[in-house]
Structure 1
Amino acid sequence: MEQQGYPIYDIAGFAASRPDIVVKPFAPYRMEHHKLQVPHRHRFYHLVYFTKGSGHHTIDFDRFPVKPHQLYAMVPGQVHHWEFEGDVDGYVLNFSASFFQSFLLRPDYIDDFPFFQGLAQQSVMDIPQSMRTHVTDLFQEMIPLAVSNNILSLDKLRVLILRLFLDLAGMRAETRPGRLSYNATLLRNFQKMVDKHFSELRLPRDYAAMLHITPNHLNAICSDLLGQSAGEVIRNRIALEAKRLLINPALSVTTVAYMLNFEDNSYFTKFFKKNAGMTPEAFRKSFAITNKPSG
């Protein structure tokens, strides 16, 4: 589905049998959806495991090479597009936010996996040789289950998907948030709050109050675990959303500034230039030139 000239896709447009889950080989999926090379967003979780192919994948303006035995995971709202070279194959998994809600006690359980936190650098994984057969077998077992309307089959599918996610998290030696240190848990909660409130809450003290800690404590946590201040975390999230909106040709710079709650266009331009190193107009122009769809 397109809104205001900018592609934003719902999972229903990709699902043949069920409106909340898609699991299939990537090659036919790519043939069915020709517009994947145009920058777009999804309203669903999106995961691709490549077994064959080359090219590049851009996620939120970070560009990664596509290569065999590489896995990409994305959350709703991220902007991405592909630039493939030659034949590409593998597996794709799309699922809606509601697919696990009735199955899991915690609705936000999926979001706590490190590769589903909306950070491009954490969402790209090279699968080691020792795990490749296992990952392929999981996808092969998922495919027939994804087209079933049998509740037991769907629950089995959910279990297989969760097993994949847990194995991927274990591969990176990551632990679940319940086992993180107190400060690491605070940081994750801060990042979630910023992701939800960045357009209206701009100051670290606002988030510190919600976390029931002092602004100094929040800054110390961010500095220790991220190497940046709490204010930088907030500003970086605003700048990322600005970039996501600016590549929509239907939105003027003034409209983007308004959507992000900037008082005037000049203040937004000043903010963007300081954080992105160029004006909004220059960013839009450079992205349009360097990211024209191929083929």
Structure 2
Amino acid sequence: MLKVKDELPVYDICTFRDSDHAHNEIVAECFADYLKKHPNLHRAHGHTFYHLVLFTKGSGFHTIDFERFKVEVGQIYFMVPGQVHGWQFEGEMDGFVVNFSEELFHSFLRDERYLGRFNFWRGITGENILTLTATELKEAGEMLSALVTETSAVKPFSKDKVRLLLLSLFILVARSENYPTEANESVKPNLQLLYKFRDLVNEKFKSLKLPKDYAEQLHVSANHLNAVCTELLGKSAGEVIRERILLEAKRKLVNLDESISTIAYSLGFSDNSYFTKFFKKYTGMTPEEFKKSVNDY
């Protein structure tokens, strides 16, 4: 099903499933075939499911949550539900694409937040893109090729095999030579605090706007939280919160056919004019101007 709200379409996984598709919770295909079936996907759109693409051929650009990235052979990217992206490809493209629902792993993994252990599934743009080495690309290609075959029919233990292939791919990427190295022992506690802070921001940014509110829930001082963010991200805790609010505002503005005042209220702003001033201060555009600009995105 395709839901169109304002300018930007939002797809659920049924959109990409053939009527005779063997599995309800996952679609895995060669990327060239996928693009032929869905030629309009180059325009900005959102998903209600998890999505990954591995490029094995082609060039151009793709945009995730309003940030632009150059396509490279061996590059793999990951998107969580709610993110927005589009493509501008050059020449013939190929690789693999996998779409899967949130429910795929629910009955399989005891920890429902297991995917969050992989940084690339945290929905943070820039941390969800990686270029594999030649050896890793070959191994990933073999896993994804097996996944395409496995999802083409239902066999005994087929669903478990699909899950295991996906988890093997995630572990391969997490162990990649190009993946950010593990922090040394002195940095690890701060890194764990940062992860918890960003997870908490993602959960409560609509109601909590100040670093001190998060610091209190994390049982640290606001100064310590700010120092950790500055050390590991090069930005303050306040900036992390503000960027998450702005990202959600942009997603809502291009996804929802709602008034600016309704969006402002949903983001925790009691005053529409304050939301407009806040948005323009940090983006250079009013919400209305940004909404109109989405056609050029």
Q: TM-score, normalised by structure 2?
A: 0.89
Query: Identity rate of aligned residues, in percent?
Result: 46
Paired with 2:190 and 2:258, the residues of 1 have a C-alpha distance of: 39
Paired with 1:55 and 1:26, the residues of 2 have a C-alpha distance of: 15
Q: Give the secondary structure class of the aligned counterpart of 1:57.
A: strand
2:122 alignment partner AA: Q
Aligned pairs for 1:7-156 (under 5 A) are: 7-15=9-17, 16-150=21-155, 152-156=157-161
1:133 alignment partner AA: K
Paired with 2:114 and 2:256, the residues of 1 have a C-alpha distance of: 35
Q: Give the secondary structure class of the aligned counterpart of 1:247.
A: helix
Paired with 1:174 and 1:10, the residues of 2 have a C-alpha distance of: 35
Structure 2, unpaired ranges of 5+: none
1:4 corresponds to which residue?
Answer: 5
Would you say the 8 A contact 1:114–1:174 is kept in 2? no
Does the C-alpha gap of structure 1 residues 180 and 148 become closer, same or farther in structure 2, counting only changes over 3 Å?
Answer: farther
Greater relative CO (CA pairs within 8 A, separation 6+): 2
Does the C-alpha gap of structure 1 residues 173 and 201 become closer, same or farther in structure 2, counting only changes over 3 Å?
Answer: closer
Q: Give the secondary structure class of the aligned counterpart of 2:194.
A: helix
Q: Note the C-alpha offset of 1:136.
A: 1.0
Q: Note the C-alpha offset of 1:173.
A: 4.3
1:224 corresponds to which residue?
Answer: 231
Q: CA RMSD in A?
A: 2.2
1:224 alignment partner AA: E
1:201 corresponds to which residue?
Answer: 208
2:220 alignment partner AA: I
Q: Note the C-alpha offset of 1:58.
A: 0.8
Would you say the 8 A contact 2:10–2:255 is kept in 1? no
Q: Give the secondary structure class of the aligned counterpart of 2:206.
A: coil
Q: 2:222 aligns with which of 207, 215, 227?
A: 215
Paired with 1:35 and 1:133, the residues of 2 have a C-alpha distance of: 29
Q: Note the C-alpha offset of 1:141.
A: 1.1
Q: Note the C-alpha offset of 1:174.
A: 4.3
Deviations 1:25-73 (A, max 9, x none): 0111112223312221111110001111222211000011223222111
Deviations 1:186-243 (A, max 9, x none): 2111111111111111112222222222222222221222122211111110011111
**Matching of residue 286 in structure 1 with residue 287 in structure 2:** no
1:163 alignment partner AA: S
Paired with 1:282 and 1:242, the residues of 2 have a C-alpha distance of: 13
Does the C-alpha gap of structure 1 residues 47 and 180 become closer, same or farther in structure 2, counting only changes over 3 Å?
Answer: farther
Paired with 1:141 and 1:220, the residues of 2 have a C-alpha distance of: 46
92-101 or 145-154, which deviates more: 145-154
Paired with 2:257 and 2:107, the residues of 1 have a C-alpha distance of: 37
Q: TM-score, normalised by structure 1?
A: 0.90
157-166 or 5-14, which deviates more: 5-14
Deviations 1:263-283 (A, max 9, x none): 222101111122223322332
**Matching of residue 247 in structure 1 with residue 254 in structure 2:** yes
75-84 or 210-219, which deviates more: 210-219
Q: Give the secondary structure class of the aligned counterpart of 1:133.
A: helix
Deviations 1:152-171 (A, max 9, x none): 22212212211111111111
Paired with 1:195 and 1:143, the residues of 2 have a C-alpha distance of: 33
Structure 1, unpaired ranges of 5+: none
1:88 alignment partner AA: M
212-221 or 197-206, which deviates more: 212-221
Paired with 2:42 and 2:136, the residues of 1 have a C-alpha distance of: 29
2:119 alignment partner AA: P
Q: Give the secondary structure class of the aligned counterpart of 1:98.
A: helix
Does the C-alpha gap of structure 1 residues 37 and 144 become closer, same or farther in structure 2, counting only changes over 3 Å?
Answer: same
Paired with 1:230 and 1:202, the residues of 2 have a C-alpha distance of: 10
64-73 or 277-286, which deviates more: 277-286
